[in-house]
Amino acid sequence: MDFLENSVRYEGKRGSIELISGSMFSGKTEELIRRLRRAQFAGLRVEIFKPSLDKRYSETRVVSHDEKSINSTPVDNPASILLLVGDVDVVGIDEAQFFDESIVDVCNSLADNGIRVLVAGLDMDFMGKPFGPMPALLAIAEYVTKVHAICMRCGNLAQYSHRKSSEEQVVLLGEKDIYEPLCRSCYNKALNKSSQGRG
């Protein structure tokens, strides 16, 4: 990914969208922070945003599960990003799945104006369905990175965020007390077990 980080400096201000997606506990936010910090080290102007509803670790910082963090601005909706962003080279957006579909137009607008846009988010919800605007972001991104967790039941690569509680709303903030990463096989077994329990 180093060539991406240097492209702005050596080829003029050229916008792009990079999407980092995967299940919970897969290292999405950690990778987002890594790229943003490298941009800062390169002397680029960086602005970071996250949904204001995500207060799990901090109200104003983007924090990974392994406690790496970086300052951010919480926003209620994607339009606020365009209002608040200054004269920057790089914009980071965490937990993009919690925004509505207008986040797609916001990311396109930023990239069209020469900004490198780094976006991280869950690709699927707890039901294994594409999560909010993530499929559309995947379609417009120049670069896509899919990261994986480790299945908590068998140790294989995991791509599903299995909800251990019975709540059925799509947006339910939580950590390892509520969610566990599972591979396809273990996820299907968990779903079958929970459906039998309800039957």
Per-residue pLDDT of the chain (199 residues; tens, 9 = 90+): 444 444 444 455 789 999 999 999 999 989 999 999 999 999 999 999 998 876 555 555 555 555 566 778 899 999 999 999 989 999 999 999 999 999 999 999 999 999 999 999 999 998 899 999 999 999 999 999 999 999 999 999 999 999 887 666 655 554 556 889 999 999 999 988 766 655 4
pLDDT on residue 166: 65
pLDDT on residue 59: 54
Determine whether domain 2-148 maps to CATH 1.10.580.10.
no
3-state secondary structure 116-149: EEEEEEECECCCCCECCCHHHHHHHCCEEEEECE
The answer to whether 76 and 50 have CB atoms below 8 angstroms apart is no
pLDDT on residue 153: 96
The answer to whether 162 and 24 have CB atoms below 8 angstroms apart is no
pLDDT on residue 9: 44
**Residue with token string 């799990």:** 56
Measure the CA–CA gap between 17 and 31, rounded to whole angstroms. Answer: 15
- Catalytic annotation, pick one of 31, 47, 95, 180: 95
pLDDT on residue 192: 85
DSSP string for 75-112: ESSHHHHHHH--S-SEEEE--GGGS-THHHHHHHHHHH
pLDDT on residue 40: 92
The answer to whether 36 and 92 have CB atoms below 8 angstroms apart is yes
pLDDT on residue 167: 62
pTM > 0.85: yes or no: no
Domains of the chain, by residue range, sit at 2-148
The answer to whether 49 and 72 have CB atoms below 8 angstroms apart is yes
pLDDT on residue 105: 97
| Annotation marks residue 180 as catalytic | no
pLDDT on residue 162: 92
